[in-house]
Amino acid sequence: GGIITQTPKFLIGQEGQKLTLKCQQNFNHDTMYWYRQDSGKGLRLIYYSITENDLQKGDLSEGYDASREKKSSFSLTVTSAQKNEMAVFLCASSMWTNTEVFFGKGTRLTVV
Amino acid sequence: QQKVQQSPESLSVPEGGMASLNCTSSDRNFQYFWWYRQHSGEGPKALMSIFSDGDKKEGRFTAHLNKASLHVSLHIRDSQPSDSALYFCAAHTGYQNFYFGKGTSLTVIP
């Protein structure tokens, strides 16, 4: 088995601040994802990457940047935090885009 | 428009009872379905997949797929308090990403 590690677990930022969330996986999976989870809205895809240095926009990419410098890591940057950003951000990985997705435990973002 | 709709939003069943969750897709290209479960404070984990019409049973969990109506359901027999969680339906076309529904919150009452 493998594990997805997200850091930090809790992130408090100020409105307008640039914030970075990090994710590492040891599954040796090719594809990695960032999802945002808001209460009552399910999981919405922000960015995904099918290989190192690849980036694909999801439905919710505006206001975010992502970076996949190596196969095992995928980072997400909130370019200018807004008070409605408060949510849980989930990193995930899978072998390909149509196979089982494995999730990390999430980073809970609070903007003050 | 939400591509994957789940109902009900929340559901309470007594311990030992049957829980039934529903999912419908609005996109006929979605042919492959998964159910994921998320306990509080954890990330979602895959429960089971179903790709063919009919029933698929894994222990106390049975998924049913009707591709003609784009409807998939999950039935949990002999529900346990540990089954209390958020359940997501996920669909994909076979060559693109998953789309997740908004989830059904299940509470099993001891």
Q: Which of B98, B102, B104 to mutate to test the interface with A (most CBs of A within 10 A)?
A: B98
B97·A90 Cβ contact <8 A: no
Tokens describing residue B15? 């311990």
Q: Residue A56: its pLDDT value, please? A: 94
Q: Which residues of B touch A102 (CB under 8 A)?
A: 45-46
Q: Which residues of B touch A104 (CB under 8 A)?
A: 43
- Minimum mean pLDDT among B1-5, B53-57, B58-62: which range? B1-5
pLDDT at A66 over 90: yes
In the predicted model, what is the mean pLDDT of residues B48-56?
95
Q: Residue B1: its pLDDT value, please? A: 66
CA distance B53 to B71: 10
In the predicted model, what is the mean pLDDT of residues B64-75?
95
In the predicted model, what is the mean pLDDT of residues B62-83?
96
Instruction: Provide CB contacts within 8 A for A47, sequence distance 6+.
Output: A33, A34, A55, A56, A57, A58, A61, A64, A66, A76
| B41, B93, B100: residue with CB nearest A42 | B100
3-state secondary structure A65-111: EEEEEECCEEEEEECCCCHHHCEEEEEEEECCCCCCCEECCCEEEEE
In the predicted model, what is the mean pLDDT of residues B27-42?
92
A14 touches chain B (CB under 8 A): no
pLDDT at A68 over 70: yes
In the predicted model, what is the mean pLDDT of residues A57-69?
95
Render pLDDT for A3-35 as a digit per residue (tens, 0 to 9). 999 999 999 999 999 999 999 999 999 999 999
Residue bearing the bigger pLDDT, A83 or A24:
A24
B97: nearest CA partner in chain A: A97
Q: Residue B55: its pLDDT value, please? A: 97
Q: Residue B4: its pLDDT value, please? A: 93
Question: What single DSSP character describes residue B70?
Answer: T
Instruction: Find tokens 């149509």 and name the residue.
Output: A98
